[in-house]
Amino acid sequence: MRTRGPALAMASVLLIGVAANGCRSGESLANAGIDRPPATTTATTTPSTGGNGATGGTGVSGGSGGSGVTTAPTTTTPPPTTQPRKLDTLPKCDVSALDAASASGPVEITFWHGLSNENGAELQRQTDLYNSSQNKVHVNLQFQGGYEDVINKYLQSNTQNRPDLVQMPEYMLQQMIDTKSIVPTQACAEAAHYDMSPFLPQALDAYATESVQWAMPFNMSVPVLFYRRDLFEKAGLDPNKPPQSFDELLHQGQQLVSSGASSYSIALDSDFDGGGGWYIEQWLAKAGEFYADNENGRAAPATKVLYNDAAGLALMTYLQTLINQGGAVYVGDNPSGQDALLKLADATTPAAMTISTSASLGIVLSVLGGGLIPGITQDDVGVGYMPGPNGGLGALVGGNSLYIVDGKGAEKAAAAWDYITFLETAQQQSEFAAATGYIPVRQDALELDPIKSVYTSDPRFRVGYDQLIGSADAPTSNGPVLGPLQQVRRVTAQAVAAVLTGTDPQAALDAGAQQADDLIANYALQNPG
């Protein structure tokens, strides 16, 4: 095993948490391994327009020399339709309760979150600003150590021990609904006549199902391509034209390695909250395909995953081609979120590209600006769209949203809503995006400084935003809503790891899909509705 030099070791310490995913430790709270139920009806998958304007299903390039592997869309029996929930049957939100309650002093609320480093510091700054700007509410911000720490602590707590507001990753939507412990933010928005029109529809749709807006999007990110501009130039490639298609990624990668500009083309990982999830979920969405049946669980509860069908096989065959013929290197599970990025800074055998969250850009530039990695400057870092089967545009929403906790009293819910509306203002979203690299959740934030000036002076910060709004207007552009999605991603990530280490793609996907289907069936038995 090669030993990292002192400078790289120091950078490694500073880059811990660079993927803005917090600590990912913790055991699964779901059970698995039950007998699989009989097959049920699944959704019709329809080819749609890709984010770059290309039409069709999943034309992906999988062989050497750019030979295409085209898969037909999966077609099955249309699913039953999930009926919209009536808002008046869900917990209420009396926003007027705040005025009466705060007459005798600020209403104290507790907010659990998982943001660390620069991202956590910016949240603290904004919370301090909110607390000092009014006297109705005081927010006690409590960092829980990482996203999974937040999840585990919340699920293991009862109403009395839970916070008044909690930040949860996008994969927790269905499980949070099924806890029956939240006040839908739509109830507060309607009670307050809150204008939702400035919000990006992609941001809202990610946290809406059954015609209910359950949570408010907050820190939003998407996977993007990070690359070394200096190595592209050394290889004779245009650093202003990074790869967007699968063919371009394969061919440019081959040129980077054959020219001697870099030892590897792209660093790949199998982290469940990174490449292990992205290479299937994001690429299927870009291809206009569903990840799970019943329209990703949004038309009706999902009964199985679909990624071991022809579309997923083509994608994983291509992923293996990147390793075997495209000069890619597998860096492992990448549990800290830093290994793939650090491979770009490897002093002896660097990779020229990797895929990481858009939210890591601010931290990456900060580390490089401090001169901690000799020979690499801020200007050497390029950011492009995540390459995909239909080009670079389009992405599923990642990051976190804000949930108001039920059972804490009307005044607490109203206070939490008041704090949310502060964090969601155009000005605060502009400041948060500029400080962290997260994507503003509302369009009018782009009209205000500092993000207006940042997007103009450093377009790298805007790549994630443009990629997201380029998503196709199609059901496949909304991510999967599965109760055990966190656990399903873990077994899916194991399948991706198997593919990256040489296992037959179909065998790896079939094994992962069987485990995923068991998790879904087991969850349905434990949560009958």
Same-domain status, 312 and 390: yes
Whether 40 is covered by a domain: the verdict is: no
Q: Where are the beta strands (DSSP E) in 372-470?
A: 381-385, 398-405
Within-domain flag for 453: no
Q: CA–CA separation, 505 vs 314, rounded Å?
A: 9
How confident is the model at residue 67, as a pLDDT?
Answer: 34
* Residue-level pLDDT at 133: 97
Any domain includes 52: no
Output DSSP code: residue 111. E
91 and 142 part of one domain = yes
- Domain assignment of residue 429, given as a range: 87-221+396-448
Measure the CA–CA gap between 513 and 96, rounded to whole angstroms. Answer: 48
Contact 436, 362 (CB under 8 A): yes
Provide the whole-model pTM.
0.85
Same domain, 139 and 211: yes
Q: State whether 202 and 246 are in the same domain.
A: no
Answer yes or no: are the C-beta atoms of 265 and 232 closer than 8 Å: no
Answer yes or no: do 406 and 488 share one domain. Answer: no
Q: Is residue 510 part of a domain?
A: yes
Q: Say what the pLDDT of residue 338 is.
A: 83
Read off the pLDDT of residues 426-446 as tens digits, 9 standing for 90 and up: 999 999 999 988 999 999 999
Which of 76-85, 309-318, 364-373 has the weakest average pLDDT?
A: 76-85
The string of pLDDT tens digits covering residues 172-205 is 999 999 999 999 999 999 999 999 999 999 999 9
439 within a domain of the structure (yes/no) = yes
> Which stretches does DSSP call E strand in 18-63?
58-61
Residues 191, 96, single domain; the answer is yes
At 310 the pLDDT is 98
Same domain, 444 and 496: no
Asked if residue 230 and residue 287 are part of one domain, the reply reads: yes
Q: Output the CA torsion sign for 163, 165, 171, 176.
A: positive
| 375, part of any domain | yes
Question: 237 and 174 share a domain?
Answer: no
Judgement on whether residues 326 and 195 belong to the same structural domain of the protein: no
CATH code, domain with 191: 3.40.190.10
Mapped onto helix, strand or coil, the DSSP state of residue 517 is helix
Q: Are residues 379 and 514 in the same domain?
A: yes
Average pLDDT of the residues in 364-381: 91
- Predicted local distance difference test score (pLDDT) of residue 82: 59
Q: Is residue 454 part of a domain?
A: no
384 shares its domain with 499: yes
What backbone torsions phi and psi does residue 52 show, to the nearest 5 degrees? -100, 10
Domain assignment of residue 512, yes or no: yes
| Total structural domains within the chain | 2
Q: pLDDT by residue (tens digit) across 67-97?
A: 344 444 444 444 445 568 889 899 999 999 9
